Amino acid sequence: MDTHDLELARSIQRREQTLGNSQARKGQRPARPPRSQVVFRFQLTLMASRVRALSKGPQNFTIKSSFVPLAYVPCVAPLSALKKTMIDDLLLETHHRGTYLLARAVTPQDCMTAVMAIVEDEKGDVLMAQLYHQDDGRTEDILAKGMVLIIKEPYFKLMSDGGYGLRVDHLSDVVFLAANDERIPGSWQEPPRQSATALAWKEKGNDHVKESSYRSAIMCYTRALGCAPTPEEMHTIRLNRSLAFLKTQEYDAALSDAEFAANSASSAKKPVEKALFRKAQALYSLERYRECCEVLKELRLEYPDNTKAKSELTRAISRLAEQTYGKYPFRQMYAEAASLQPPHLDRATYLGPVAVQPAGSRGRGLFTTRAVKAGDLLFCEKAFAHAFVDKEAGSGCDITMLIDPESGGGTMGSQSDLINMTVQKLYRNPSLLPLITDLHHGAYQPVDTAAVDGQPVVDTFLIRRIIALNCFGCPRSTLASHQHNRSPSTSLTTTTTTSALEKEKEKENVFYSCGLWPTASYINHSCASNARRSFVGDMMVARATRDLPPGAELTWWYQLPWPRQPAQSKSNKLHSHWGFACACALCADDQATSPAALAKRESLAAGLRRYVSSLGARELGNGDAVADKIKGVVDAMAATYGAPASEVPRLAVWMAVQGALVKVLKAGGPGMGPVVVRPVRMVELLLAAFAALGFVIDAGAALVVRRWGLLVDGVVDSWLLLRDACHFAAPELVPAAEGYAKTAYRMVFGEDETFDSVDSPR
Ligand SMILES: C[S@@+](CC[C@H](N)C(=O)[O-])C[C@H]1O[C@@H](n2cnc3c(N)ncnc32)[C@H](O)[C@@H]1O
C-alpha cells in the first residue's frame, strides 16, 4: 500500500463512519444551511475539480469513489399518479414514494461518479442533486444551470461528506423538461417565444443539431411535433429527429422516426432517400443486418447515384455474412483491435450450433444443437457493452470505485464503467432490454414494469447484479496478451509451459477491461470444461475443446481449475461470488480422495521439482535416467488417483511433467539439437502428460486423438514439442501432430490463421 492508497483508505473509512450513522437519522428533517452557503460551497468544489482536471498530467489518474446505497427499485408509477412534494418536506434516508419534486438547477454541473448540481424548488429552497449513471461523455451538459427537472419518488439521504442531498440511481426517475414545458411554473418560464409554432421549434432544433446539442434538438423537435405540424412539417421534423436520435445512440427511436418519414415521404411530396438511409443506419446499429441490407438495396434501386448507400450496403453485406456463416478475417481483426481505441470492432455476432436450455440445478445453460468437433466454432459474439482500459498506456485515466457496504465489496475500474454503459444503452434502446434483463441475477427481485410515461424503466441495481454475475474480464486480444506475457528471448514453448495456467489468470483481470456478452453468459462453470473463450477486441470467440454430441451442455471456467480449491469451501469464489459449489468430476474426485493420497501426490510432485532443479551437467548427460525418473513419478502419482484420467483429468500430474520437461529442455539448450531426453523418450513423456489431462491418443503406425482432454494453454506447446520430437523418432507422425497443434491453437486463440507465426521449439 503506498501513501495514495492510505489516503484513499482513510477517506473511505471516514465516509463509511458518516454513512454508518445515517440509519440512526432516518426520518429526521435536518436543519439545512442557508441557500447562499450551499451554493457557495458547491461552487468552491466545482472550481477545485476544474483545477484538478486542468492540472492532471498523463502520469496521474483520479480515483472517483462512491458508496452504493441499499438497492431500491425505480419508480413505476406514472407522473400523473404522483403528488408534488417540496424540499422542506423531505425526510432523511427516505424514499418519498408516491411523490415527485420539481426542481431547477441553480449552479453549473460537476461530474464525478455522478452528475451533480445544486437545485432549488419553487420556494427557493436548495439541495444538492446527484444523478448517477448519466452519460457524461456527451458534448452537452446533463444538468446545465437553469435546467428544470422532475425527480420521481425522491430519495433524500445523508451524503458521505456529511451533507444532505437527493440521490437518483435510476435514469427513468428523472424527467428533464424542455424549455417552455407547461409543467414549468410561470416564474421559471423563459420569456414566451414570439411564435411557438411547429416551424419555430423545428428551426430551433436544427440550430441545436448544428451545435451538436442533440439532446436539446430532440426536445425541440418533440415540442414541434406537439404544435400541430402540417403533414409535410411532420415528415421533416421526424426525419430530422431521427438524425438526432442516431447521434444520441437511441436507435429504436431513430428507426421509428425514419420509418415514419419513409412512409410519409410520398404523401408529403418529399424524397425518401434520407429517410431510407437513416432507417438503414438505425437497423445497422441494432445489428439487424438482413433488414438493413434490404433497405439499402431499395435505396440503391431508387437512387443509384447515392455512393454512400453503395458503401454502406457493402459494409452491411459483410456483417450479414459474418452473422450467417461465422467466417471472420482474424488477422485483420487483430490489426483493428490493436489500432482502435477502444477496440470496438465493426463486426457481427455469429451464433452457431448453440441454444439456451434448462440445465437442472444449474438454472439455464448453453447446449449444442448438433454434433460438433473439437475446435469447432460455437459462436463469435460482439459485446453488448465493453469497458476498455488501456493496460499498456496504464496511467492518465480515471478509475471509478463503487463501494457497496451492503455486500462488503464493490466494483472497481472498468466494471463500474460497464454498469453505466449497459444502463445507458438499455435506456436508449428498450428493445434490447430482454436480452440483458433475462440474464442470471441471483436472488435480486426486479420490478415487472418495463416502461412508464413512455420511458423505459431500467433498474440500475438489477443491472449491477447482472454484471457482477455475468461479466467477463478480457485482454485487448488473447493472442496479443499471450505474446506480451512471454519474454522475447525465449520461445513460446518454454514460457507458456512453465506456468501455463497462471499466465491465463493474468489475461482476464477485471480491473482492466471487461464486457458483457449475453450468449456467453448462459455457459455454466465446470473445472472439467468442454469449451474455451478467447478475445479479439470486443469480440468473444467460443470453441468446443472436444467432440460433443447434440444436446451436450457447454461448460467453461469461471475460475481456473488449478490450484485446486475445495468446492465446498466458503472462500472458493464459485461459492462466495456465484453462489454454487462445483460438482464436476474433478471436484467430486477431490472430495473422494483421502488427505493421505493428496499429501502423497504433492510430495511426489515436490520431489520431482527438487530433482529437476538439482540436475547438473553430469546427470543431464544421462537423458534416459532423467526420463526414467520423470516417468517413475508420473506412475507413482497416477497410483494416488481412483478414477481413470479420461474421467478425472490429473492436473497435478500434468503440471509436474510439464514443469520437469521445460526445465530439462532449458538445460539442454535453446533448441532440441543437444537434446537431453532422446526424442523417443520425449514422445513417451509427452503422451503421458496428454494422458494425464484425459486425452485418449493412439500412437502407433498413426497418431490419432480418440478423445480430447482438458484444454489448458500448454497443450498447444506440448503438441508442437511432440511434432518436433516425432521429426526424429517417427517422421510419419509429424503431419498429424502438427494438425493437432493447430486445432489446439484454434481452441486457445479462437483462430488458426496465425498458427504459422508460432515459434517452433526446435
Ligand atoms: C453466468 S450465470 C450462468 C447461467 C445461469 N445458469 C442461468 O441460468 O442464467 C452464473 C450462474 O449460473 C449458476 N451456475 C453456473 N455454473 C454452475 C455449476 N457448475 N453448478 C451450479 N450452478 C452453476 C450459478 O447460479 C451462477 O451464479
Query: What pLDDT, in 10s, does the model give residues 702-739?
Result: 999 999 999 998 999 999 999 999 999 999 999 999 99
Order the strands of the 63-67 sheet from edge to edge.
63-67, 399-404, 409-412
Is residue 276 pLDDT above 50, yes or no? yes
The set of residues, in sequence order, having a beta carbon less than 8 Å from that of 701 and lying 6+ positions away, is 732
Statement to judge: residues 705 and 671 lie in one domain: yes
> Which pLDDT band holds residue 398 (cuts at 50, 70, 90)?
low
Residue 568 has pLDDT above 90, yes or no: no
**What distance in angstroms lies between residue 233's CA and the mean position of ligand 1's atoms?**
53
Q: Is the pLDDT of residue 498 over 60?
A: no
Terminal-to-terminal C-alpha distance of the chain: 44
User: What pLDDT band is residue 194 in, cutting at 50, 70 and 90?
Assistant: low
Distance 482 CA to ligand 1 centre (A): 28
Identify which has the larger pLDDT, 391 or 744: 744
Question: How many domains is the chain partitioned into structurally?
Answer: 4
**Which atom of ligand 1 is nearest to 526's Cα?**
19
For 222-234, the pLDDT digits (tens) are 999 999 999 999 9
Residue 379 has pLDDT above 50, yes or no: yes
- Residues 536, 608 within the same domain: no
In this prediction the pTM is: 0.92
Cell of 104: 431547477
Q: Select the highest-mean-pLDDT range: 29-38, 519-528, 568-577.
A: 519-528
Instruction: Determine the pLDDT at residue 694.
Output: 97
For residue 408, pLDDT beyond 70:
no
Counting Cβ atoms within 10 Å, is residue 57 exposed (0-12), middle (13-18) or buried (19+)? Answer: exposed
Q: For ligand 1, what atom is nearest to the CA of residue 525? A: 16
Question: What is the pLDDT at residue 321?
Answer: 98
Burial label for 732, CB within 10 Å (0-12, 13-18, 19+), is exposed
Q: What's the gap in Å between 369 CA and the centre of ligand 1?
A: 20
Q: Identify whether 582 is part of a domain.
A: no
pLDDT (0 to 100) of residue 569: 86
pLDDT band at residue 14, thresholds of 50, 70 and 90?
low
* 337/301 same-domain check: no
SS3 400: strand
Q: Distance, CA 521 to ligand 1 centroid (Å)? A: 9
**Bigger pLDDT: 470 or 193?**
470
**Residues 6 or more apart whose Cβ sits within 8 Å of residue 21:** 158
Residue 203's CB is within 10 A of a number of other CB atoms, namely 13
Note the pLDDT of residue 492: 37
User: Are 720 and 704 in a shared domain?
Assistant: yes
User: Ligand 1 test: best mutation among 578, 582, 587, most atoms within 8 Å of CB?
Assistant: 578
Assess contact for 382 and 46: CB atoms under 8 A: no
Q: What is the largest CA-CA distance in the chain?
A: 100
Q: Give the chain's radius of gyration (CA, Å).
A: 31
**350 in a structural domain:** yes
Rounded distance between C-alpha atoms, residue 597 and residue 306, angstroms:
74
**In a domain? residue 63:** no
What is the position in ligand 1's atom list of the atom closest to the CA of 364? 8
CB 454, CB 429: distance < 8 Å = no
User: By percentage, how much of the chain surpasses pLDDT 90?
Assistant: 70
pLDDT score for 46? 85
- Helix axis angle for 231-247 and 251-264, nearest 10°, is 150
What is d(CA 699, CA 235) in angstroms, rounded to the nearest whole number?
Answer: 73
Residue 580 CB less than 6 A away from ligand 1: yes
> Which pLDDT value is given to residue 488?
38
Residues 163 and 221 in one domain: no
Distance (Å) from CA 553 to ligand 1 centroid:
12
Rounded average pLDDT over 316-339: 98
318 plus 276 within the same structural domain:
yes
Position 469 in a domain:
yes
- Of 165, 188, 211, which residue sits at a domain end? 188
The residue that leads in pLDDT, 358 or 495, is 358
Spatial separation of the C-alpha atoms in residues 311 and 382, rounded to whole Å? 22
Distance 546 CA to ligand 1 centre (A): 21
Q: What is the pLDDT of residue 416?
A: 86
The band of 405, judged by pLDDT with boundaries at 50, 70 and 90, is: low
Pocket test for ligand 1, best of 580, 582, 584, 587 (most atoms within 8 A of CB): 580
The residue among 468, 470, 563 whose CA lies nearest residue 520 is: 470
Protein residue whose Cα sits closest to atom 13 of ligand 1: 362
Task: Look up the CATH number of the domain holding residue 366.
Answer: 2.170.270.10
Look over the chain and give the mean of its residue pLDDT values, rounded to a whole number. 88
- Cα of 567 vs centre of ligand 1, distance in Å, is 14
In a domain, 650, yes or no: yes
CATH number for position 314: 1.25.40.10
212, 131: one domain = no
Q: Which residues contact 329 (CB under 8 A, 6 or more apart)?
A: none
Q: What value does the mean pLDDT take over residues 380-401?
A: 76
Which of 522, 554, 586 corresponds to the end of one domain?
554
Q: Tell me: do 53 and 146 sit in the same domain.
A: yes
d(CA 101, CA 107): 18
pLDDT of 258 reads 98
pLDDT tier, 510 (very low <50, low <70, confident <90, very high otherwise): very low
Please tell me the predicted confidence (pLDDT) of residue 409: 65
User: Domain for residue 269, yes or no?
Assistant: yes
Q: What pLDDT shows up at residue 534?
A: 97
Q: Is residue 529 in contact with ligand 1, taking CB distance under 6 Å?
A: no
Distance, CA 324 to ligand 1 centroid (Å)? 28
Co-location of 202 and 241 in the same domain: yes
| Per-residue pLDDT tens over the stretch 580-618 | 999 999 999 999 999 999 999 999 999 999 999 898 888
Q: Is 444 near ligand 1, meaning CB less than 6 Å away?
A: no
**Nearest alpha carbon to residue 62 among 75, 73, 70, 50:** 50
How would you class 138 by CB atoms within 10 Å of its CB: exposed for 0-12, middle for 13-18, buried for 19 or more?
Answer: middle
- CATH code assigned at 124: 2.40.50.550
Residue 301 and residue 214 in one domain? yes
Q: How far is the CA of 245 from the centre of ligand 1 (A)?
A: 37
What percentage of residues in the chain have a pLDDT greater than 70? 86
Q: Find the range with the poorest average confidence among 489-503, 543-557, 629-643.
A: 489-503
Residues 691 and 618 in one domain: yes
Run of H or E including 148: strand 148-152
Write out the DSSP string of 479-503: HHHHHHHS-TTS-HHHHHHHSHHHH
Structural domain of 687: 594-757
CA of 175 to the centre of ligand 1 (A): 37
> Taking 70 as the threshold, does the pLDDT of residue 10 lie above it?
no
User: What secondary structure letter does DSSP report for 591?
Assistant: H
Pocket-testing residue among 510, 522, 524, ligand 1, by greatest number of atoms within 8 A of Cβ: 524
Q: Is the pLDDT of residue 495 over 60?
A: no
Query: For residue 21, is it within any domain?
Result: no
Residue 140: the pLDDT is: 76
pLDDT tens-digit readout, 197-222: 999 999 999 999 999 999 999 999 99
My answer on whether 101 and 148 are in the same domain is yes
Whether 550 maps to a domain, the answer reads: yes
Q: Which of 142, 157, 188 is the last residue of a domain?
A: 188
Residue 381 per-residue DSSP state: E
Q: Find out whether the beta carbon of 611 lies less than 6 Å from any atom of ligand 1.
A: no
Q: Is 180 left (phi over 0), alpha (psi -120 to 50) or beta?
A: left
pLDDT confidence of residue 589: 94
